[in-house]
Amino acid sequence: MRAAAVQLQSTPDRDRNLAAADRLTRAAAAAGAQLVVLPEKWPALGDPRDTPSFAQALDGPAMTWAGAVARELGIDLVAGSLTTDDGDARHNTSIHFGPDGEPRAAYRKIHMFDVEVGGHVYKESAHEAPGEEVVLSQTADGAGLGLTVCYDLRFPELYRILAVKGAQILVVPAAFTLATTREHWEILLRARAIEDQCFVVAANQYGEHAPGIRSGGRSMIVDPWGVVLATAPDAETFVTADLDLERQAEIRRTLPSLANRRPQAYEWPAEVHA
């Protein structure tokens, strides 16, 4: 299976973002990609205070386009994520569309980006509510597809659960900050790949989205041995790599760390001291 990670520099201009996503998704499919992953908040990204104004319904223009282009191109499309207005709350939602254009799974980002980094304070929970469900989907050819978003990458327990549930490919639509991309992004992606013996397809945002709000790019595809198969340059572009599922099965057979787990010996502490 060939996978592609699409790297965008999204802005508050929705028409501009949609045109860029359409152009690069089509180019990735023309390059042979059967699975295409878009970045986090690709339909609109800017000052975090504007997040409520970027919200769309699941049947809004961004996801209508995503379903239509997945069907036209005959691809599995993980349509990054977007802010959805779900009536009672807004969520950071990622949708997987199958080659028939129908949604196969919806994942609402579990971990809220409430941090101070690079001189900026981010409080995602001020505008969106966390999801509560771990979501495993499946590609058209039956590969387990674990859905995650951005800050989730720092929570290895989520990825381990996905692997135990049957994930072979982990997708990470992201808008990782410039500072954390440079110092943490590759290390975290490779760690999740090695720990869970999964392919990781990580599509990051790139460049400045609003004054002082920058993402670091370096969209990446990593194999289950932790080898980086592709890394995007600093531009709006895409990268592709072939995912050798037979090689993955061999890794899991010869170094069976998933099979050697001993869950009966693990117990979560009652309190976290941080």
In a domain, 73, yes or no: yes
Q: What is the pLDDT of residue 274?
A: 66
| Residues contacting residue 221 through CB under 8 Å, at least 6 positions apart | 3, 5, 199, 200, 201, 202, 228, 229, 230, 239, 240, 241, 243
In a domain, 236, yes or no: yes
**Is 109 annotated in the active site?**
yes
Instruction: Residue 69: give the domain boundaries.
Output: 2-265
Q: Please tell me the total count of domains within the chain.
A: 1
**pLDDT for residue 273 is more than 80:** no
CATH number of the domain that residue 231 is part of: 3.60.110.10
Read off the pLDDT band of 271 (50, 70, 90): confident
Evaluate if pTM is beyond 0.95. yes
In a domain, 6, yes or no: yes
In a domain, 274, yes or no: no
| Residues contacting residue 216 through CB under 8 Å, at least 6 positions apart | 176, 177, 178, 179, 180, 181, 182, 185, 204, 206
**pLDDT for residue 144 is more than 90:** yes
* Amino acid residing at 250: E
pLDDT digits (tens, 9 = 90+) for 16-29: 999 999 999 999 99
In a domain, 197, yes or no: yes
**CA 169 to CA 172: how far, in whole Å?**
10
> How many CA atoms lie less than 13 Å away from 165 in the CB half-sphere?
19
Place of tokens 């990054």: 80
In a domain, 169, yes or no: yes
The Cα-based distances of 3 to 36, 40, 78, 156, 210 in angstroms read 6, 17, 11, 23, 30
Catalytic residue among 124, 128, 150, 198: 150
In a domain, 271, yes or no: no
**Is 123 annotated in the active site?**
no
**Is 165 annotated in the active site?**
no
In a domain, 229, yes or no: yes
**CA 47 to CA 45: how far, in whole Å?**
7
Q: What is the pLDDT of residue 203?
A: 99
pLDDT digits (tens, 9 = 90+) for 199-240: 999 999 999 999 989 999 999 999 999 999 999 999 999 999
Average pLDDT on 104-118 reads 95
Read off the pLDDT band of 272 (50, 70, 90): confident
Catalytic residue among 40, 124, 128, 236: 40
Q: Which of 248, 214, 230, 178 is nearest to 37 (CA)?
A: 230
> How many CA atoms lie less than 13 Å away from 132 in the CB half-sphere?
1
Q: What is the pLDDT of residue 162?
A: 98
Instruction: Write out the two tokens for 51.
Output: 């997040």
